[in-house]
């Protein structure tokens, strides 16, 4: 029983202290802009103190010592004995980096790294810069509040390393405390595996609902119609609630980027301001975690490739300090995240030339690219415009990984850039991966699903207008030429099969490219429950999963990017 209690406290510490460590990075960046902000100084002090308390209870001595000296630094700042200048913030930033490494090690069930003597001494020097700097002292009220923050009201651990005798804080005059009235908790921590189980059950209920709706369409039973209608309402409400349970604000990811941007900029000798907006936008928990690495690549590249040095910006008539904006917003059933910088931008002709030099394209193929297609070259594997390799970029990896990971999330990445003005990269991902709005189509005797977010339009195919471009069928449309992919040919269906009287074209946009998928019939829009493919089908290009249709049949979900790449 004692072991379980210790493990529970450790789990709570990893969650609560992990969130505090993430906040510390962005708070320190804010402090650099507002060094006299007392509320911010107090918040950072409390953050280190809370981590120290939990680490002490778990006997993590290295973390305790690191946080204790950091406390001394901020206590001296709060008392006006030292200033929150860049050198001191640099030292504390390094301490936060060590805490991040320690939290990751603990999450992986490994021993956290010990802070180096050099780092500890740098923090001591920062705290003792002026004679007479005192060690940290906090009031009894502060101590009680910090214990409540870590363990919850009235849940102080039974055993601590250094017991402190503190008088209880007096209750507020406006609301006298009543020992017989417990404080009601409005939240509960739930294992994500249970949430996944709930979502799976809701998915099965959606399938049953779809089948009953199909059955209702063939029935004249009014009572059955009424009951199915009620079931539809309840299922929809339960589905929305279950999805909300899995939602987290995208700010969980955004909070790490102020520190990241500052560290990258200082290592490159650049001045960069990062602004965040839309942090409260909710997204499926699994997507929030999956977006972390792609966004790290994009923010790093925006600072390294995009933002010029202060000297170059001055020559171009720009402010010495560059600007990177990271924003999130909900658009329909998708979340759109943009990374925008006011840097050098990208010249399509330079990208065209680099593609030939690196052997990504032949000279003839490169010459046929439009300016927008040239910008898309940055997502090609092994492509980089950097002439020098550094720890930050220039190895030809990163942007292709970004597109690959976003595609795996059923999302898309597009880019817009202008030389001398800057670049904007736009990521769109679905709100959730468990239940997906889809367009159901038929080819031959089988139904297939296409993620609705990729569908731009549906129209009838006029065979007389089909032309051939580079040996492939295409259709002039809206001032451009839309490449056509015939689904029956892609599937390898017999050529002598019964062709539809009027084929339809599904206009699809994927990875910045548009094409028309020619199908026999469009069955309509349907919310589908995404099921993973079996081991034998995983990795087959053009398929991303499967679902069960309303009539109980299995329909494969088409991966539009894979269909386009594997079509001939």
Give dist(CA 513, CA 516) in Å, integer: 10
Calculate the average pLDDT of the chain: 80
Res 514: pLDDT? 87
On whether residue 173 sits in a domain, the answer given is no
> pLDDT confidence of 145, banded at 50, 70, 90?
low
Within this chain, do residues 260 and 320 fall inside the same structural domain, yes or no? yes
Residues in the chain: 568
The helix/strand/coil state of 188 is: coil
Report the share of the chain in percent with pLDDT over 70: 82
Res 190: pLDDT? 75
Mean of pLDDT values over 222-234: 82
> pLDDT confidence of 1, banded at 50, 70, 90?
very low
Give per-residue burial for 63-90: e unless 16+ CB within 10 Å, then b.
bbbbbbbbbbbbbbbbeebbebeeebbb
Mean of pLDDT values over 511-522: 87
> pLDDT confidence of 360, banded at 50, 70, 90?
confident
We report the CATH number of the domain holding residue 502 as: 2.40.50.180
pLDDT at 307 over 90: yes
pLDDT at 345 over 60: yes
pLDDT at 172 over 80: no
> pLDDT confidence of 247, banded at 50, 70, 90?
confident
Q: Lowest-confidence range among 296-305, 349-358, 445-454, 490-499?
A: 490-499
Within this chain, do residues 139 and 63 fall inside the same structural domain, yes or no? yes
Both structure tokens of 12? 């709570």
Mean of pLDDT values over 321-332: 89
Report the share of the chain in percent with pLDDT over 90: 24
Last residue of a domain, one of 226, 246, 266: 246
Last residue of a domain, one of 430, 464, 499: 430
Mean of pLDDT values over 196-215: 79
pLDDT at 78 over 60: yes
Within this chain, do residues 117 and 225 fall inside the same structural domain, yes or no? no
On whether residue 506 sits in a domain, the answer given is yes
Res 170: pLDDT? 45
Res 319: pLDDT? 93
Give dist(CA 434, CA 202) in Å, integer: 10
Within this chain, do residues 406 and 449 fall inside the same structural domain, yes or no? no
Q: Lowest-confidence range among 102-106, 254-258, 433-437, 460-464?
A: 433-437
Give the distance, in angstroms, between the CA of residue 155 and the centroid of all CA atoms in the same chain: 34
pLDDT at 165 over 50: no
We report the CATH number of the domain holding residue 229 as: 1.10.287.560
More confident residue, 376 or 155: 376
We report the CATH number of the domain holding residue 23 as: 1.20.120.160
Give dist(CA 478, CA 538) in Å, integer: 37
Within this chain, do residues 415 and 268 fall inside the same structural domain, yes or no? yes
Give dist(CA 47, CA 190) in Å, integer: 24
> pLDDT confidence of 411, banded at 50, 70, 90?
confident
On whether residue 420 sits in a domain, the answer given is yes
Res 6: pLDDT? 65
Mean of pLDDT values over 443-450: 91
Within this chain, do residues 418 and 278 fall inside the same structural domain, yes or no? yes
Mean of pLDDT values over 52-72: 89
> pLDDT confidence of 331, banded at 50, 70, 90?
confident
- Identify the domain containing residue 419 by its residue range: 249-346+385-430
On whether residue 376 sits in a domain, the answer given is no
Quick one: which of 389, 363, 398, 403 has its CA closest to 561?
403
We report the CATH number of the domain holding residue 422 as: 3.30.565.10
Mean of pLDDT values over 134-155: 51
Long-range contacts, stretch 134-140, CB < 8 angstroms, 24+ apart: 134/75, 134/76, 134/79, 134/81, 135/72, 135/75, 136/45, 136/68, 136/71, 136/72, 136/75, 137/75, 138/49, 140/166, 140/167, 140/169
More confident residue, 260 or 173: 260
Mean of pLDDT values over 79-96: 89
Mean of pLDDT values over 64-81: 90
Within this chain, do residues 203 and 301 fall inside the same structural domain, yes or no? no
Within this chain, do residues 20 and 106 fall inside the same structural domain, yes or no? yes
On whether residue 234 sits in a domain, the answer given is yes
Res 162: pLDDT? 42
> pLDDT confidence of 3, banded at 50, 70, 90?
very low
pLDDT at 229 over 90: no
Angle between helices 192-217 and 222-245 (to 10 degrees): 160
Residue 103's alpha-carbon distances to 52, 60, 91, 329, 548, in angstroms, are 13, 11, 19, 30, 41
> H or E element: which one contains 455?
strand 455-460
On whether residue 162 sits in a domain, the answer given is no
Res 386: pLDDT? 55
Res 338: pLDDT? 94
Q: Are 258 and 279 in contact (CB under 8 A)?
A: no
Within this chain, do residues 73 and 146 fall inside the same structural domain, yes or no? yes
More confident residue, 552 or 325: 325
More confident residue, 418 or 252: 418
Within this chain, do residues 303 and 405 fall inside the same structural domain, yes or no? yes
Q: Are 374 and 482 in contact (CB under 8 A)?
A: no
Q: Lowest-confidence range among 56-70, 179-193, 484-498, 548-562?
A: 179-193
Residue 357's alpha-carbon distances to 134, 280, 426, in angstroms, are 62, 44, 28
Within this chain, do residues 267 and 411 fall inside the same structural domain, yes or no? yes
More confident residue, 452 or 216: 452
Give dist(CA 508, CA 455) in Å, integer: 5
> In this structure, what DSSP letter does residue 431 have?
S
Report for 1-10, 133-142, 490-499: range of highest mean pLDDT: 490-499
Question: Any idea what the Cα angle at residue 303 is, between residues 300 and 307, rounded to 5°?
Answer: 160
Last residue of a domain, one of 398, 430, 462: 430
Number of domains in the chain: 4
Residues 6+ apart with CB under 8 A from 438: 449, 450, 451, 452, 525, 526, 527, 528, 547, 557
Strand partners, 476: 481
Mean of pLDDT values over 112-118: 90
pLDDT at 333 over 50: yes
Within this chain, do residues 482 and 562 fall inside the same structural domain, yes or no? yes
> pLDDT confidence of 496, banded at 50, 70, 90?
low
Residue 272's alpha-carbon distances to 280, 301, 342, in angstroms, are 24, 13, 10
On whether residue 241 sits in a domain, the answer given is yes
Quick one: which of 348, 297, 295, 299 has its CA closest to 322?
299
> In this structure, what DSSP letter does residue 463 have?
G
> pLDDT confidence of 272, banded at 50, 70, 90?
very high
On whether residue 374 sits in a domain, the answer given is no
> pLDDT confidence of 179, banded at 50, 70, 90?
very low
Q: Are 268 and 392 in contact (CB under 8 A)?
A: yes
């Amino acid at each position: 029983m004692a072991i379980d209690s210790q493990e529970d406290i450790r789990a709570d510490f990893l969650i609560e202290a992990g969130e505090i460590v993430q906040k510390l990075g962005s708070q320190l960046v804010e402090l650099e802009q507002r060094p006299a902000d007392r509320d911010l100084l107090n918040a950072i002090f409390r953050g280190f103190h809370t981590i120290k308390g939990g680490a002490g209870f778990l006997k993590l001595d290295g973390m305790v010592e690191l946080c204790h000296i950091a406390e001394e630094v901020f206590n001296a700042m709060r008392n006006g004995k030292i200033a929150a200048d860049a050198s001191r913030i640099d030292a504390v930033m390094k301490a936060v980096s060590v805490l991040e490494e320690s939290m990751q090690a603990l999450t992986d069930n490994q021993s956290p790294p010990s802070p180096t003597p050099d780092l500890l001494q740098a923090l001591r020097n920062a705290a003792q810069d002026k004679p007479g700097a005192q060690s940290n002292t906090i009031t009894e009220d502060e101590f009680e509040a910090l214990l409540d923050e870590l363990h919850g009201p009235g849940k102080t651990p039974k055993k601590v390393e250094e017991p402190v005798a503190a008088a209880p804080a007096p209750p507020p005059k406006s609301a006298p405390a009543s020992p017989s009235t417990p404080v009601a908790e409005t939240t509960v921590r739930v294992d994500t595996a249970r949430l996944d189980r709930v979502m799976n059950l809701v998915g099965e209920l959606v399938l049953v609902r779809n089948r009953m709706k199909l059955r209702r369409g063939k029935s004249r039973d009014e009572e059955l119609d009424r009951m199915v209608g009620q079931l539809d309402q309840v299922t929809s409400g339960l589905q929305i609630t279950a999805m909300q349970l899995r939602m987290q604000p995208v700010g969980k990811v955004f909070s790490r980027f102020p520190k990241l941007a500052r560290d990258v900029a200082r290592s490159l000798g650049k001045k960069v301001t990062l602004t965040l907006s839309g942090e409260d936008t909710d997204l499926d928990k699994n997507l929030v975690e999956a977006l972390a690495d792609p966004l790290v690549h994009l923010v790093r590249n925006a600072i390294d490739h995009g933002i010029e040095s202060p000297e170059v910006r001055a020559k171009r008539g720009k402010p010495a300090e560059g600007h990177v904006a990271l924003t999130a917003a909900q658009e329909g059933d998708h979340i759109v995240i943009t990374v925008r910088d006011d840097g050098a931008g990208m010249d399509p002709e330079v990208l065209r030339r680099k593609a030939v030099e690196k052997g990504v394209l032949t000279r003839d193929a490169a010459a046929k690219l439009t300016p927008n297609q040239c910008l898309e070259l940055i997502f090609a594997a092994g492509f980089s415009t950097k002439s020098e390799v550094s720890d930050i970029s220039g190895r030809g990896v990163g942007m292709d990984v970004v597109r690959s990971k976003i595609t795996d999330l059923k999302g898309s990445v597009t880019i817009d850039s202008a030389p001398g003005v800057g670049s904007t990269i736009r990521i769109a991902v679905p709100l959730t991966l468990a239940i997906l709005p889809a367009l159901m189509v038929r080819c031959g005797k089988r139904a297939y699903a296409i993620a609705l977010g990729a569908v731009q339009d549906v129209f009838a195919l006029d065979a007389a207008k089909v032309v051939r471009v580079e040996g492939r069928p295409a259709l002039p449309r809206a001032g451009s030429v839309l490449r056509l992919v015939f689904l029956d040919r892609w599937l390898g269906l017999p050529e002598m099969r019964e062709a539809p009287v009027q084929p339809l074209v599904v206009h699809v946009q994927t990875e910045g490219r548009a094409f028309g998928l020619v199908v026999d019939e469009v069955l309509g829009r349907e919310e589908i429950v995404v099921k993973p493919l079996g081991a034998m089908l995983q990795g087959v290009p053009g398929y991303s999963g499967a679902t069960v249709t309303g009539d109980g049949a299995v329909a494969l979900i088409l991966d539009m990017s894979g269909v386009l790449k594997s079509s001939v």
